[in-house]
Amino acid sequence: MIDACGKFTSLHDFTGADGGNPTAGLARDFSGMLYGAAVDGGANYGPGVLFSITPSGTYGDLHDFAGPDGADSWSTLVQAVDGLFYGTTYFGGASNDGTVFALNPGGKVFSLHSLSGSDGSSPYSGLVQATDGRL
């Protein structure tokens, strides 16, 4: 966290078991809670995690990727008007070409689409929501 005077304060130090290499930005929900993804670590030894963290540094592990549901999320999550967060994974899914997923703020992850190469592969970037509501 960086305050108005430019002072940096670390909110959380990742240990590997709770994730590692959180490369994407954090998304803030409507209440001020922060949500993010770590590319590595987690309970399943490497596919990464989805997490929440309060502005004061209280960390919550929301989801540990296992491979079939996705792996290595490089994307910044986006909160859509339906209140869910959406993101992508670089690996994992049925063909190991990545996934598109939804996360509710309570930690439930919904796999929406498994990429297969012909419809895309290994996305680094996240999603955006258009004015018509589509992602």
Q: How far apart are CA 91 and CA 102, in angstroms?
A: 16
pLDDT of residue 130: 94
DSSP string, 62-108: EEE--BTTBB---SPPEE-TTS-EEEEESB-STTSS-EEEEE-TTS-
Note the Cα 124 to chain centre separation in Å: 12
**Do 85 and 77 form a contact (C-beta atoms < 8 A)?**
yes
pTM for this predicted structure: 0.91
CA angle, residues 116, 98, 18, in degrees to nearest 5: 160
Q: How far is CA 78 from CA 10, 16, 83, 125, in A?
A: 23, 24, 10, 11
Task: Give the pLDDT of residue 3.
Answer: 80
- What the block records as the tokens of 45 is 């030894």
Residues in the chain predicted with pLDDT less than 70, given as ranges, are: none
**What is the model's pLDDT at position 44?**
83
Residue identified by tokens 């919550």 is 60
List the chain domain ranges. 27-114
